[in-house]
Amino acid sequence: MINEDIFEPFDKLVEIEICGEKREVPENNSLLRCFQYLSMETVSFGDFCWNGDCLNCQVWIETGEKRKAVVACRTTVKEGMKIVRLSEEINLSEK
């Protein structure tokens, strides 16, 4: 793995769903760090403040029948989390 020192310590990967696609990301990390894990270059150089002020990392999480908007930099990933929508600023394509 590249740049392991930017992630919070983790022992395993957990499975989450991002816009219908199941992905494995490091436990104990913010969603934005998990997105960075999935697409290091595009997220690292994205327009994010990393502290919740800009809202560029906003995502929508579905729990049951409800959807809730959260900022990815301040939300810790959880096994089975279902993300149904991403801010336009979040690019997970591996370039």
Taking only the tens place, the pLDDT of each residue in 1-42 is: 456 789 999 999 999 999 999 999 999 999 999 999 999 999
Taking only the tens place, the pLDDT of each residue in 52-63 is: 999 999 999 999
CA geometry: angle at 61 spanning 14 and 58, to 5°?
Answer: 100
- Predicted pLDDT of residue 5: 84
**DSSP reduced 3-state for 35:** helix
Average pLDDT over residues 68-77: 97
Global pTM reads 0.92
